[in-house]
C-alpha cells in the first residue's frame, strides 16, 4: 500500500510517499483510517513515555543505549500499568516504586504472572 501525504506549513508544500505492507483487504478509506489510528496510538504512547519517564530528556545516544533503555521503559510502563493496587498516575507510580520497596516488588511481580 502506498500513502501519499501532503502538508502545507508556512506556505511551503511538502509531499511524502509512505509504503506499508498489509494483508488487509479493504477500501482506501478503511486503510487510511487504520493508518491514522495507528499513528494516534504511537503518539499517545510517546506522550506517556515522555511524561512518565522524561524520555525526551534522555541523553543516551552511544551504541545501542537509547534502544536498550527504550525497551526497559516499555517494560516498566507495562508493569506499572498492570499493578492494580495504586490509583496514582504513571509518573507518581514510578516515583512510589523508587521510594517504596514493597510497592516496587508488587510492580515487579506483575511481570511474572
Looking at per-residue confidence, does 52 or 11 come out higher? 11
Q: What pLDDT score does 87 carry?
A: 85
Q: Region 46-64: what's the mean pLDDT?
A: 74
Contacts of 58 (CB under 8 A, 6+ apart): 66, 69
Q: Region 88-110: what's the mean pLDDT?
A: 91
Q: Is 19 exposed, middle or buried, given 0-12, 13-18 or 19+ CB atoms closer than 10 A? A: exposed
Going by pLDDT thresholds of 50, 70 and 90, the confidence category of residue 18 is: confident
At residue 78, φ and ψ (nearest 5 deg) are -65, -40
CA distance 107 to 97: 8
At residue 12, φ and ψ (nearest 5 deg) are -100, 130
- Taking the domains of the chain in order of start, what are their residue ranges? 28-112
Q: Region 68-97: what's the mean pLDDT?
A: 86
Going by pLDDT thresholds of 50, 70 and 90, the confidence category of residue 13 is: very high
| Least confident residue range of 38-47, 82-91, 95-104 | 38-47
**Grid coordinates given for 75:** 517494560
Grid cell 499513528 in the structure block, residue: 39
Amino acid at each position: 500500500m502506498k500513502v501519499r501525504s501532503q502538508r502545507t506549513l508556512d506556505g511551503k508544500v511538502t509531499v511524502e510517499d509512505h509504503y506499508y505492507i498489509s494483508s488487509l483487504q479493504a477500501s482506501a478509506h478503511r486503510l487510511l483510517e487504520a493508518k491514522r489510528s495507528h499513528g494516534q496510538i504511537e503518539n499517545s504512547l510517546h506522550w506517556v513515555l515522555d511524561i512518565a519517564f522524561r524520555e525526551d530528556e534522555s541523553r543516551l545516544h552511544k551504541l545501542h543505549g537509547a534502544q536498550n533503555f527504550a525497551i526497559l521503559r516499555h517494560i516498566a510502563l507495562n508493569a506499572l500499568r498492570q499493578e492494580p493496587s495504586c490509583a496514582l498516575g504513571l509518573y507518581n507510580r514510578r516515583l512510589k516504586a523508587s521510594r517504596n520497596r514493597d510497592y516496587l516488588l508488587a510492580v515487579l511481580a506483575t511481570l511474572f504472572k
